[in-house]
C-alpha cells in the first residue's frame, strides 16, 4: 500500500479475533486501532475518525447495529464492513439499513476481507473532481462535489454505497445495466455474485427517492437482467428491453427477479 496508510478501526469483543485481524491488516500497510466494545469504538471514532471500520454485529453491551448507526450519522464517508457468524437475511438487511457498506461472515478468508476493504477505499476516492458536478432527474438533484442528494429541494441522507449506486445509475440513464456489471462498477472487480446486496440496496434507495417504492418511476427493474434509471419528467422514453425467459425456467422462480 503506497502513500499515507489507510486507517482502520477493528471492533470485536473477542480479543483473539480482533488481534488476528489487526495483525493481517498491519502487515498489509493499514494503520489499525482496536476496540473491544461498542462504547469504546464510538469513543475512539469521535476522537480520531477512521476511513474504514470492521465491526462485529453481535457484541455484549451496545450492538454492532447501533454502533454502525451512530458512526454513519456522524460521518457519511467512512466505509463500514459488518462481521457476523449469523446467516439470517434479516441481519444483513438490518446492517445495510443501519448504513453498513458491506457484510462478511465468520469464518472468512483473509483475502476476502482485504478485497472488500480495498474496494471501499477505491470507492471513497471515486468522487474526486467529477466532470458533471450535479446530476438531475425529475425532482432529484445529486451533488457529486458535496456528496448530497436532494429531493424536491430537501436533503435526503444516503450512505456512501447508496450514493455510489445511485450515481452510477443516473450517469447511465435509460441503459439497462446487468446485475454483474452494476456490482463490479460500484463494489469493485472482486464482486459479481452478491445479488442480495444489490437488491437490498435498490430497495433502500427506492424507499428514499420513489413516491411509491412498489411502483418505481426512477429505478426500473429489467427482469432477469438488472436495472435501468429513467427520468420520469422526460417526454421521450426508450422502448423497454425484454429479456427472454430461459427455456424450461419456472415462472414462480423468475418472479423474484422483479424485486
The model's pLDDT over 187-238, given as tens digits with 9 standing for 90+, comes to 878 788 888 879 988 999 999 999 999 999 999 999 989 999 999 987 545 4
Residue 246: pLDDT band with limits 50, 70, 90: very low
| pTM value surpassing 0.75 | no
How crowded is residue 87: how many other Cβ atoms within 10 Å of its Cβ? 8
Dist CA 100 CA 93 (whole Å): 10
Percent of the chain with pLDDT over 70: 84
Instruction: Tell me if residue 182 falls in helix, strand or coil.
Output: helix
When mean pLDDT is compared over 25-29, 107-111, 161-165, the highest value belongs to: 25-29
pLDDT of 67 reads 95
Domain ranges of the chain: 7-123, 134-245
Residue 75: pLDDT band with limits 50, 70, 90: confident
Average pLDDT over all residues of the chain:
83
How crowded is residue 221: how many other Cβ atoms within 10 Å of its Cβ? 16
pLDDT of 248 reads 46
Q: Supply 248's cell numbers.
A: 424450461
The CATH fold of domain 7-123: Rossmann fold (3.40.50)
Of 104 and 28, more confident: 28
Domain 134-245 CATH assignment equals 1.20.1250.20: no
Please say if the pLDDT value at position 129 is more than 80: no
Q: Which residues are paired to 52 by β-bridges?
A: 8, 79
Dist CA 31 CA 49 (whole Å): 12
Amino acid at each position: 500500500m503506497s502513500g499515507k496508510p489507510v486507517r482502520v478501526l477493528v471492533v470485536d469483543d473477542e480479543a483473539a479475533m480482533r488481534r488476528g485481524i489487526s495483525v493481517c491488516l498491519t502487515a498489509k500497510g493499514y494503520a489499525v486501532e482496536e476496540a473491544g466494545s461498542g462504547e469504546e469504538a464510538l469513543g475512539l471514532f469521535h476522537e480520531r475518525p477512521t476511513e474504514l471500520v470492521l465491526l462485529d454485529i453481535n457484541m455484549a453491551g451496545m450492538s454492532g447495529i447501533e454502533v454502525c448507526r451512530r458512526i454513519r450519522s456522524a460521518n457519511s464517508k467512512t466505509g463500514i464492513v459488518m462481521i457476523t457468524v449469523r446467516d439470517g437475511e434479516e441481519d444483513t438487511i438490518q446492517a445495510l439499513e443501519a448504513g453498513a457498506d458491506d457484510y462478511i461472515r465468520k469464518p472468512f478468508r483473509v483475502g476476502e476481507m482485504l478485497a472488500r476493504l480495498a474496494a471501499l477505499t477505491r470507492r471513497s476516492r471515486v468522487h474526486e473532481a467529477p466532470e458533471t458536478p450535479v446530476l438531475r432527474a425529475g425532482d432529484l438533484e445529486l451533488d457529486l462535489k458535496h456528496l448530497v442528494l436532494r429531493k424536491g429541494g430537501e436533503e435526503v441522507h444516503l450512505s456512501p454505497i447508496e450514493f455510489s449506486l445511485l450515481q452510477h445509475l443516473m450517469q447511465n440513464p435509460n441503459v439497462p445495466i446487468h446485475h454483474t456489471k452494476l456490482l463490479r462498477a460500484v463494489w469493485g472487480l472482486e464482486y459479481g455474485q452478491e445479488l442480495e446486496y444489490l437488491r437490498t440496496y435498490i430497495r433502500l434507495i427506492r424507499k428514499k427517492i420513489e413516491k411509491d417504492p412498489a411502483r418505481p418511476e426512477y429505478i426500473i427493474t429489467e427482469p432477469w437482467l438488472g436495472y435501468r434509471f429513467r427520468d420520469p419528467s422526460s417526454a421521450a422514453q426508450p422502448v423497454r428491453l425484454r429479456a427472454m425467459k430461459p427455456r424450461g425456467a419456472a415462472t414462480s422462480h423468475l418472479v423474484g427477479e422483479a424485486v
